[in-house]
Structure 1
Amino acid sequence: MSVLDTPGPCDVAIIGGGAAGVLTAIGLLRGARSALRILILEPSLPLARGVAYATPYDEHLLNVPAGKMGGFPDQVEDFLDYLIHAQAFPGVARDTLAASFVPRWRYAEYLRARLQQAVDSSAAQLEIRAERVLELDRDGDGLRLVLASGQAVQARRVVLASGNALRPLPARGAGSLPEDKRVEAWDFAAVRGIAEHADVAIIGSGLSMADTVVSLLASGHRGRIHVLSRHALMPLPHAKGPAADYDPEPLLAMNLRQRLHALRGHARAAAARGIPWQNVMERIRPMGQALWQTLSCDDQRRFLRHVVRYWDIHRHRIAGSVHAQLVQLQQEKRLVLHRGRLETAVSEGACVRLTAMDLRRHPLPLDVHCVVNATGVEMRAQAMRNPLLQQLLGSGLARPGPHGMGIDSAPDGSLIDADGVVEPRVQVLGSLRIGRLWESLAIPELRGQAAQAAVALG
């Protein structure tokens, strides 16, 4: 795709060129009936990579089967159609491919291909600029964006789709560790560059940890891997089997405690019939946002304090092949799981000395050669280290979402300012809506939000 850089006002400026931003652009291009001018502002090209799909390595698999990853609400199998048309897996039957967990980089290619097709057939014009947006302000009937280059852009409407931010390593002294001893899990090349015999500590035991482990294995790593997290809970695998057939609607009228009790009961009943618990969770997959929004504020806080990690490992599952690698490493004693809270990180010679506290507040020391930050997605807007979000919050054009997570938005995705006034010219997408929607990171949610935004802004 060509990258244009021509000055002038635009009808819609999309801030962020990851999956959410690209899907919104596709929707706008497909729906355009006039020469709409659309601008994507994304500092890290090519488009559609974001955090999830930036990896070029085959070992990083989608966490959802290919047959469910279509980018459009009315075309759930569109990604599968793309793979077959592109002959990405020649000789593999459609049904087999639909149930397969394919490399994540293929999804970025799919989104770019669909974007190019939309450009080629649209009455609208798409421009792409490798720029970071630092400020957004109201400007008469429109909006004014200030870019890192110092240039200003006028826009009639704006989409905020800036994507995920990584939590910082939660340890005193972490910032002073040398670069070769401190690696971010999302820096896939750096993870692969860790020395073969190095002992590694991965801080966090979620999806980013799984990515790190499979990268280490793919690069021939032979050292010991320590995984440290507060709950010591690793992602669980998908499973095949009959579909669960219980009615999930009554859950919406229950409080948090009642819901947990009911789901455990459904899981036991399903197990008695040979149905895996994973398929019990699949029944509530489309209801994630409704389940969150029908909880009281107090129950939402209880969920975040006591339940969220258990929800994560049961809801956000991984491919069975990846889970099998983790289990095998544990059986071989090459991967050791520790439950504790990281306190300090100090560089000493060739090593990093970590100190954690276990549940009984006893010291848990670890000496390793390298530390990988796999603590996951930062949810607090003020902690995201994003200059644009800081400016929006500081100016009052935005306010934090419920429980301080993300920024606040109306049911239709419109931004809500510090006075509670809806700003319909700004649409919020993806992880920034997590406080209101909770489930707002995966493709099923993103494709719905992108389609909604395209209709609202077109």
Structure 2
Amino acid sequence: MSVIDTSGPCDVAIIGGGAAGVLAAIGVLRGAQQPLRVLILEPSLPLARGVAYATPYPEHLLNVPAGKMGGFPDKVEDFLEYLLDVQAFPGVDRDTLATQFVPRRCFADYLRHRLQQAVEVSPAQLEIRAERVQALDRDAVGFQLTLASGQQLLARRVVLASGNALRPLPARGAGSLPDGKRVEAWDFDAVHGIAGNADVAIVGSGLSMADTVVSLVATGHRGRIHVLSRHALLPLPHAKGPAADYDPEPLLRMDLRQRLHALRQHAVQAAERGIPWQNVMERIRPMGQALWQTLSFDDQRRFLRHVVRYWDVHRHRIAASVHAQLMQLQQQGQLQLHRGRLETAFADGACVQLTAFDKRRHPFQLDVQHVINATGVEMRAQAMRNALLQQLLGSGMARPGPHGMGIDSAADGSLIDADGVVEPRVQVLGSLRIGSLWESLAIPELRVQAAQAATALLG
């Protein structure tokens, strides 16, 4: 795909070239009926990687079977079709491949392939620039974008798809740890570079932790692996079995407590019929956003305070093979799970000394060679360390989303400013909408948002 550098206003500027931004670009290119200039601004090329799909390592698997990972609402099996077309897994038949959890790097390749196909048949022109956007201001043409290089660009319409930000390590002293002693879980090469005999502490016990552990296993790691988190809950596996067939609609009319009770009852009744609880959760998978939006504000707060971690491990599941690796390491004693709140992290010679408090406020200490930050996605807009978001919030062009999560957007994805005015020329995608939608990170949500954004921008 050629990289074109031209001047003059563009019709659509897409800020962010991860999965959401690329899907939006494909939607605009496919829907264009006349020549348009479409610009993707992404500092970290190649496109379509973002955080989720940036890993080049085969041990990092998708958390959804291939048959459900299509990038378009009307073609849920499109990713599967791509894998078959390019013969990514020779000898594996369609039905088998549809149920497999394939390496995540395959999905980035798929998105770039579909983007190139869209470019080849579209009257619109796509340009890609390896630039970071620092500011966005209204202009007579539409918007003025200021790049990190100091250059300014004009755009008539904009997509905000800046992707996910990692939470900082929640410990005093973490910022002073030497390079290499503190490792980010999303820095896959750095994780692979950890010495095989080193003791490590992974802070956080969610999906990023699972990625880190399978990387360590792939490199033949022999040292102890400590996993520290407030709840000490490991991700749970997907399961096969009959589909649950209860009616989930009544849940929308219940409060939080009633919903949790009802789901537990459905799980008990399903188990009596040989249906795994995972399939009870699958039944409400398409309703994630509606379930969030029909909760009262106070119930949403209760969910975030008391329920969210339990929801995460049941909702965001991992491949059974990955879960089996975690269980085996734990049974062998190499992986040790600690429940506690991290307080401090300081270098002590060749080691990192961590102090934490358990649920009874009793202190304990871990001495390791490396501490790995796997605390997950930052949801608070002000804490995302993103210059563009800080500028938008500071100028009043945007406001934080509900509960301070992400930035506020209307039902159709349009940006809402500090005065509550809707700006339909700016479409918001992905994790930035988490406060309004909650479920806004996975491909089933992103593909719908991207399609809606493309329709709005072309309209």
**TM-score, normalised to structure 2's length?**
0.99
Query: What SS is found at the alignment partner of 1:180?
Result: coil
Q: Take 2:199 and 2:139, find their aligned partners in 1: how far apart are those partners?
A: 54
Alignment of 1:232 onto 2:215: no
Per-residue CA shift, 1:16-59, capped at 9, x if unaligned? 00000000000000000100110000000000000000000000
How far 1:368 sits from its partner (Å)?
0.4
- Range moving further from structure 2, 135-144 or 285-294: 135-144
Alignment of 1:419 onto 2:419: yes
Q: Take 2:106 and 2:370, find their aligned partners in 1: how far apart are those partners?
A: 30
Query: What SS is found at the alignment partner of 2:379?
Result: coil
Q: Take 2:209 and 2:372, find their aligned partners in 1: how far apart are those partners?
A: 9
Runs of 4+ in 1 over 4 A off after TM superposition: none
The residue number in structure 1 matching 2:98 is 98
Residues 52-451 of structure 1 aligned to structure 2 (within 5 Å) = 52-451=52-451
Q: Take 2:224 and 2:431, find their aligned partners in 1: how far apart are those partners?
A: 34
Per-residue CA shift, 1:175-223, capped at 9, x if unaligned? 0001111100000000000011000000000000000000001011100
Code of the aligned partner of 2:131? E
How far 1:7 sits from its partner (Å)?
1.7
Per-residue CA shift, 1:378-424, capped at 9, x if unaligned? 00000000000000000000000000000000000000000000011
Q: Take 2:3 and 2:279, find their aligned partners in 1: how far apart are those partners?
A: 44
Alignment of 1:24 onto 2:11: no
Q: Take 2:76 and 2:65, find their aligned partners in 1: how far apart are those partners?
A: 11
Query: What SS is found at the alignment partner of 2:245?
Result: coil
Q: Take 1:283 and 1:80, find their aligned partners in 2: how far apart are those partners?
A: 22
Give the conservation status (yes or no) of the 8 Å contact 2:198–2:369: yes
Structure 1 residues not aligned, in runs of 5+: none
How far 1:4 sits from its partner (Å)?
1.4
Per-residue CA shift, 1:214-251, capped at 9, x if unaligned? 00010111000000000000100000000000000000
Q: Take 2:80 and 2:312, find their aligned partners in 1: how far apart are those partners?
A: 26
Code of the aligned partner of 1:17? G
Per-residue CA shift, 1:32-89, capped at 9, x if unaligned? 0100110000000000000000000000000000000000000000000000000000
Query: What SS is found at the alignment partner of 2:122?
Result: coil
Query: What SS is found at the alignment partner of 2:214?
Result: helix
Per-residue CA shift, 1:73-107, capped at 9, x if unaligned? 00000000000000000010100000000000000
Code of the aligned partner of 1:304? L
Q: Take 1:240 and 1:59, find their aligned partners in 2: how far apart are those partners?
A: 21
Code of the aligned partner of 1:129? R
Give the conservation status (yes or no) of the 8 Å contact 2:396–2:418: yes
Give the conservation status (yes or no) of the 8 Å contact 2:141–2:155: no
Q: Take 2:400 and 2:234, find their aligned partners in 1: how far apart are those partners?
A: 30
Per-residue CA shift, 1:304-324, capped at 9, x if unaligned? 000000000000000000000
Query: What SS is found at the alignment partner of 1:58?
Result: coil
Code of the aligned partner of 2:290? A
Q: Take 1:326 and 1:364, find their aligned partners in 2: how far apart are those partners?
A: 23
Code of the aligned partner of 1:133? V
Q: Take 2:60 and 2:137, find their aligned partners in 1: how far apart are those partners?
A: 39
How far 1:6 sits from its partner (Å)?
1.6
Give the conservation status (yes or no) of the 8 Å contact 2:381–2:405: yes
Q: Take 1:310 and 1:360, find their aligned partners in 2: how far apart are those partners?
A: 20
Code of the aligned partner of 1:202? I
Q: Take 1:275 and 1:354, find their aligned partners in 2: how far apart are those partners?
A: 42
Q: Percent identity?
A: 83
Q: Take 1:140 and 1:9, find their aligned partners in 2: how far apart are those partners?
A: 11
How far 1:2 sits from its partner (Å)?
1.4
Code of the aligned partner of 2:147? L
**TM-score, normalised to structure 1's length?**
1.00
Code of the aligned partner of 2:446? L
Per-residue CA shift, 1:351-370, capped at 9, x if unaligned? 00000000010101000010
Query: What SS is found at the alignment partner of 2:180?
Result: helix
Give the conservation status (yes or no) of the 8 Å contact 2:141–2:154: no
How far 1:141 sits from its partner (Å)?
4.3
How far 1:5 sits from its partner (Å)?
1.6
Code of the aligned partner of 2:178? P
